[in-house]
Structure 1
Amino acid sequence: MEINSMLAQQLDALLTDEHNNVANMANASALLMQELENVSWAGFYTYVDDKNELILGPFQGKVACVHIPVGNGVCGTSFKENKTIRVEDVNQFPGHIACDSNSKSEIVIPISKDGISFGVLDIDAPILNRFSEDDQKLLEEFIKVFENHITIDN
């Protein structure tokens, strides 16, 4: 796979030869907080099949909601629909789960490997309309690189 963005290249180098998902999520979220401007939270929620929910994983930012039922909020909806969701104004998103009242916009990208759902990457911003189409493409490429480095337990 050709890696185009500098951010995705950095992630690939950071995760090469590391197979621990928790360590990889921790470093990926730290990289995002280090490199992205006007972002207040970046982290992962992983899927728990027997509870049909997303549970908080490694992140950078303020404390966060721990359990998100599939289909609820931006994260649960992105996971259920298996598509990236960009929200210009979180107060306009039906069923938005407000973990941080300072969050104004959000992007969530679903994560899977070999057809098995893993979870989502969630990024919040303290300003409205923070995430553009270009940001979405950059972050989707970032997640493709991340997916190459995760281990799915069956």
Structure 2
Amino acid sequence: MFSQINYEGSVSAQYETLAKQLDALLTGEKNRIANLSNASALLNQFLSNINWVGFYIMHEGELVLGPFQGLPACVRIPVGRGVCGTAVAKKETLMIEDVYAFPGHIACDAASQSEIVIPLILNDTVIGVLDIDSPIKNRFTPEDKFGLEQFVETLLTHIV
């Protein structure tokens, strides 16, 4: 079922392998929570220099904490607030080099220095976000953004 993959080669090749591993891991499972849980665990294993990775799910007009790996987190985030809520409002990935320079940043973990948030969009509707924090400023690169957006595209095929 799940086996350790040696992530070697270019960053794009590593993310391509990761997306394939996610697809294999989730194939046949229909439960959204189980699939989001395994997706966050897989990213936690794959990514270096992160301190939180997980999902917030849209519920009754706001983001609510979903499956994650890391310290306890904020439970509810209004749309338009913080990096996650802003990514929902804009329907676009936000890559923040320094979270303390982001207006309205919500500090769930004081160790977080940079963040990337990718909206989960189905039929033009945001159903949640993938949120990843790092204790290092400027942790996330354009290659990470592209690779994580591909990861989310693969994930979306398993949570409809």
- Per the normalisation by structure 2, the TM-score is 0.89
Once superposed, what is the RMSD of the aligned Cα atoms?
A: 0.9
In structure 1, the gaps of 5 or more residues are none
Shift of 1:112: 1.7
In the alignment, structure 1 residue 64 sits paired with structure 2 residue 73: yes
SS in 2 for 1:149: coil
- The alignment of Structure 1 onto Structure 2 pairs a total of residues equal to 146
Percentage of matched positions with identical amino acids: 56
After superposing on structure 2, the runs of 4+ consecutive aligned residues of structure 1 that deviate more than 3 Å are: none
- 1:148 matched to 2:152: no
Structure 2: 5+ residue runs without aligned partners? 1-14
| Matched letter for residue 119 of structure 1 | G
User: For residue 20 of structure 2, what is the aligned residue in structure 1?
Assistant: 9
How many angstroms does 1:117 deviate by?
Answer: 2.1
Matching residue of 1:55: 64
Q: Which residue of 1 aligns with 2:7?
A: none
- Normalised by the length of structure 1, the TM-score is 0.92
Q: How does 1:109-120 map to 2 (within 5 A)?
A: 109-120=118-129
Which residue identity is paired with 2:31? N
> Which amino acid is the alignment partner of residue 46 of structure 1?
I
Quote how far apart the aligned CAs of 1:80 are.
Answer: 1.0
Residue 86 (str. 1) matches residue 95 (str. 2): yes
**Aligned counterpart, 2:6:** none
Q: Identify which of 57, 62, 66 aligns with 1:46.
A: 57
CA distances 1:65-111 after superposition (whole Å, capped 9, x unpaired):
00000000000000111000000000000000000000000000000
Structure-1 separation of matches of 2:22 and 2:84: 22
- Of 116-125 and 130-139, more deviation after overlay is shown by 116-125
Equivalent-residue separation in structure 2 for 1:140 and 1:126 (angstroms): 21
Cα separation, 1, equivalents of 2:77 and 2:122: 21
